[in-house]
Every structure is written in structure tokens, then in C-alpha cells.
Structure 1
Amino acid sequence: MSKRNAAGEATAEKHDVFQAIADPTRRSVLRLLVDGELPVNAISGHFPMTRTAVSKHLRVLSDAGLVQERKVGRETRYKLNADPLRELKSWLAFYERFWENKLEALRRYVEEPDDSI
């Protein structure tokens, strides 16, 4: 997908971390890369899709800064860059207090003795 700049030229659309991890396949790719760098062929072997489709997912992850790629001969290798996930963690931490409040209220409700019985 591309956008047009002020001059009407096509520009590549960058993806953010939230968009990148919204897809379950991309989340699976990130899990694969936790243990280290992998070539695209090794990554695509884990999915029931073409290498081209996996490459498109890797491009979204790369645009979001979640993976880094490097060429080794004719092979492209990818590795996880977890730094952008800190932004996500920070965002979630803000909302976590709302979940914690609800869970605490539920715990109190469940653990309170019911005097009407």
C-alpha cells in the first residue's frame, strides 16, 4: 500500500508497532526470531504460505523496526529488534491499572462471604 506526498509521488507507508503485531503470523515470526537470526527460507518453512507472503510480513515488521535484516551473500537474514516493543509495553502499562482495579473488585466480590445464605 502506498500514499502520495505533496508532489503526488508514491511514498511507502510505514507501519507502527501496533499494526505490525496485530497479525498473528507476524507475532509468530517474532517468536521464531527470539532465539536468534534466521534466513527468510528458514522462517517461511514454518508457515503454510509462500516465501513471498512471508517476505511481505517481514517487510511490515521491518518497517515497524521490529526486525533488522542483513544480506549474507545472496541470503537475507532477519533478527529481532525488541526495542520498539518497549513503546507497546509502556502504553499497556498505563491501561493495566484499569484491569488491576477490575480484577481486584472481582476478587473481593468472589471472596466476600454471602450473608444471605
Structure 2
Amino acid sequence: MPNSNMLVGGYNPLDWNGNVGWKNTTDSFIFSLRDLNNLQSAKLGRVTESNHAVYCNNGYCPLFGRGNDLYANNNSNNWQHCSTSYPSIGIPSSFTISDYEVFQVVKN
């Protein structure tokens, strides 16, 4: 979707630290919001292959899913989506992002 304002993201309850490879969780999901002015356009896809929920490697940006369901190629702004460990929710197969953020929630 050229020149789109689509919001794409994911949630991972685990840390992203280290070169440990695959991490297992049933709580991860990816999401898309096609129209920022219409919350009804939001879609959420929960992980279906929990043993391939997220991949942790210092050479990658966040990587969700065994089939690279959502990830940045070589830490660039060129991201890709391929439904394998998460259901298809209308994210384009490849797209360029303007920015991304990673948040960590810490329990006090």
C-alpha cells in the first residue's frame, strides 16, 4: 500500500535479549490498523505456532513467527510479512516503514 498510514505491530510478552533463537509463548499477537480514524479497521492475529512465536537475534529487528510473519530485513525500513505462525490479517507482503518503536513494560 504505497503512501499508506497503516499502523502495523505486534505484542511479545517475552524479552528480546540475546542470540537465543526461537522463544515460546501463546500470548503474542500481531495487529494492523488500516485507517487510523476508524478503529473498526483494526485486525488482530494471535500466534498459532507458539514454539515459533518470536525470534531473538541481535542482528534482527523484532521478528514474529517462523515464516517471518512480521520482520525487518537486515535492520532496515524494508519490512516483510508472510503468514505462517500467525493468521493473515491484511498486512502487505512487503512494505517500507517510516519509523518503528519497541516498548518494554516493567512490573513495579
**Is the TM-score greater than 0.5?**
no
Over alpha carbons, which structure has the higher Rg? 1
TM-score w.r.t. the length of structure 1 is: 0.23
Higher helix share: 1
